[in-house]
Amino acid sequence: MSHIATVILEILKVNAGVIAIIGDRIYPDGLPYTSDNPPTLPALVIVHVSGTPDNEVSDFSIDRVQVSCFSNPQEVNGVASPLEVEQLAQAVKDALHIPDLKKSPLSQTVSGVSHHIFQIRMTGERRYRESGTGFYHKPLDFMVSYRKD
């Protein structure tokens, strides 16, 4: 996992709203899943999708990070509610909406490298039920503008 995805993971790991819903179930790159040991849900998965370094500003990048929200609600009268995955998605959006970062960047250090985040902008979201598992999955896409020192 990239350093910037680790920074996003660290922000979410200490957010009270997120932790109230998932505890410590935040995973890099995928859910821990085997057929005889399915994951405990709700949970988050953080994936670094892509990154584009700025050719004119040294050590400045804009990266796409996806935060996937998963839940597996119990069915009531044959219907599963997406409420839990929607609440988790809202908690993630609230945790990553940090106004005025351009005036005062958020700084985090990962593996000895300082990252100064200037913007976290959500660029897309959608919700669906996975056909194989029946889990609700709501991926949230974020563009993260940052500089490394």
Tell me the pLDDT tens digit for each residue of 42-72: 999 999 999 887 777 777 899 999 999 999 9
Residue 103: predicted pLDDT: 77
Q: What is the structure's pLDDT at 8?
A: 94
Mean per-residue pLDDT, 6-34:
93
Domain count, the chain: 1
Domain of residue 106 covers 3-148
* The pTM of the whole model exceeds 0.85: yes
CB under 8 Å to 46, separation ≥6 — which residues? 1, 5, 6, 8, 9, 12, 26, 27, 28, 29, 65, 66, 67, 68
- Give the HSE-up count for residue 139: Cα atoms under 13 Å, Cβ half-sphere: 13
Nearest to 91 by CA among 44, 141, 24: 44
CATH number of the domain that residue 75 is part of: 3.30.2000.30
